[in-house]
Amino acid sequence: MRALLILTMAGGSVAHATLTPLVTIAGVTPDVPLIMVVLLALRRGPEFGAFTGFVTGLMQDLASGGLIGVQALTKSVIGFGIGVAGGRLRVSQPLVQVPGLVVLTIAEGLARFALLQIFRFPAPFGELMTYVVLPQALCNGFIGAAFVLTLAWAQTLRDHFEGSRP
């Protein structure tokens, strides 16, 4: 099981680095590692969410060539926070997970912007929100909805086949 989870984290990071540039919609790419962190943290809890967020964020930082640790920190905090919220609230419904993913994408973008402001990142807040964070949040929502619905469909099939065994 651990090998599968490690493969999922590494595979998601590799997919983000290689495949998402091919899937851009009007110049907006989905943040596949963030989608993975949110969905895994909801299912596995805050510690696993923080660990997954840190590892996938660090891989994303290393691949991008920017400041090392910014993505790792923000994704780790998001993973821990959604893991805690998932344990206290009933967030197993796709209609809750997808809007939550959109809101968390915006929160992660704001946290990343705040961290980059410490290092004098020269980007106006309005432009960053309008052209980067909000479009990516909508893109993550659509991709996340496809992931969540696929997982729900797979779980339904698994339950159906396990129930039909003698």
With residue 40 as reference, give the H or E element that holds it.
helix 32-44
DSSP of 83-139, one letter per residue? HHHHHHS---SHHHHHHHHHHHHHHHHHHHHHHHHHTT----HHHHIIIIIHHHHHH
- pLDDT at position 99, please? 85
- pLDDT at position 16, please? 57
Q: What is the mean pLDDT of residues 8-22?
A: 61
Nearest to 140 by CA among 103, 93, 113: 103
Q: What is the mean pLDDT of residues 20-46?
A: 81
Tell me, rounded to whole angstroms, the distance of Cα 78 from its chain centroid: 9
At 38, list the tokens.
């949110």
At 14, list the tokens.
């590799």
- pLDDT at position 50, please? 93
Q: What is the mean pLDDT of residues 61-78?
A: 85
Look up the CATH number of the domain holding residue 100: 1.10.1760
Number of domains in the chain: 1
Domain containing 50 equals 2-163
Characterise 67 by phi-psi region: left (phi > 0), alpha (psi -120 to 50), beta (else): beta
What are 79-137's pLDDT values in tens digits? 999 888 877 776 667 777 788 889 989 998 898 888 888 888 787 888 888 888 999 89
